[in-house]
Structure 1
């Protein structure tokens, strides 16, 4: 009887281990960290949850954006996004074209949004083109 009970407990432990590995593999935070390490673009967002912030990585730099709900002519939509850099030293080498790319990606997901960049990115966006 004890041997059967031990086998059942061992089977439950193996199933729990496989489930934990599967959850770790599918974790969006892990994918965000991998994209940061590889200098790729990754956009992490729950569009159906307005209380969750946007997180994205581009060229090894982490950004976070706060979404604000407002009204449009048709319905309630996200109308403001305030974006800030998690670590400002990671911005080295960023150009204005990179910021325009990030704005375009956000506007694809939230077409009614007005994007406001926080310091120090707003200094690059506000400088006139030469």
Structure 2
């Protein structure tokens, strides 16, 4: 009887280890960290949940956007997104074209949104092209 219980305990522990590994592998924060280290573009968002902030990484810079729900002509949609950066030093090397790329990626997901970049990103967008 003790041998059977021990075998069941081993099977339960193996199932728990597999479940923990799968949860770790699917974790979006881990994927964001990997994308930041490899300087790739990665976008994390729950489109059906307007209370969750969107997060994305581009060229090693971590951005976070706050979504605000509003009305359009037909329905309630995300109409305003405020984007900030956590570490201002990560912005080094980002160009205006990179910010336009990011805006296009966000507008693909939220076509009614007005994107507002917070300080210091908005200073780059406001300077004139020479």
Aligned residue for 1:123? 123
- Please give the TM-score of this superposition, normalised by the length of structure 2: 0.98
- Please give the per-residue CA displacement for 1:94-122, whole angstroms capped at 9, x wherever unaligned: 10000000000000000000000000000
Shift of 1:129: 1.5
Aligned residue for 1:22? 22
Gapped runs of 5+ residues in structure 2?
A: none
Aligned residue for 1:92? 92
- 1:104 equivalent to 2:104? Answer yes
- Please give the alpha-carbon distance, in whole angstroms, between the structure 2 residues aligned to 1:91 and 1:47: 26
- Please give the per-residue CA displacement for 1:47-99, whole angstroms capped at 9, x wherever unaligned: 00000000000000000000000111111110000000011100000100000
Aligned residue for 1:48? 48
- Please give the TM-score of this superposition, normalised by the length of structure 1: 0.98
Gapped runs of 5+ residues in structure 1?
A: none
Q: RMSD value over aligned CA atoms?
A: 0.5
Aligned residue for 2:73? 73
The count of aligned residue pairs is 130
- Please give the alpha-carbon distance, in whole angstroms, between the structure 1 residues aligned to 2:112 and 2:4: 61
- 1:8 equivalent to 2:23? Answer no
